[in-house]
Amino acid sequence: MKGLPEERAVKLAQYIIENNATVRQTAKQFSISKSTVHKDVSERLKIYNEALYKQVKDVLEQNKSERHIRGGQATKNKYERLRRK
């Protein structure tokens, strides 16, 4: 994904908000690194569009509070697949 970092930050933020996406999902969707996504939405966006930054921050905080649930579900799925073999 090329272009100005400010424009990229806005596009990434819009994707995260619209899809309730994680940093990892967003990075995969745009074929960029998680570090780039995180830097764009947490540092660059704060400077250029504070209202959008606050919306993204809320989504990412929610994702952070739920990640232990997703991790537990992933482990459960892993062992269920192994048991079926």
What does the pLDDT read at residue 2? 65
What does the pLDDT read at residue 9? 94
Q: What is the full per-residue pLDDT of the chain (85 aa) written as tens digits? A: 667 888 999 999 999 999 999 999 999 999 999 999 999 999 999 999 999 999 999 999 998 888 788 788 889 999 988 888 7
What does the pLDDT read at residue 17? 96
What does the pLDDT read at residue 37? 96
What does the pLDDT read at residue 1? 65
Give CA separation, 85 vs 17, 25, 62, 79, 80, in Å.
Answer: 39, 29, 35, 10, 9
Q: Which residues of 21-60 are buried (b: 16+ CB within 10 A; e: fewer)?
A: bbbebbbeebeeeeebbeebbeebbeebbeebbeebbebb
What does the pLDDT read at residue 51? 94
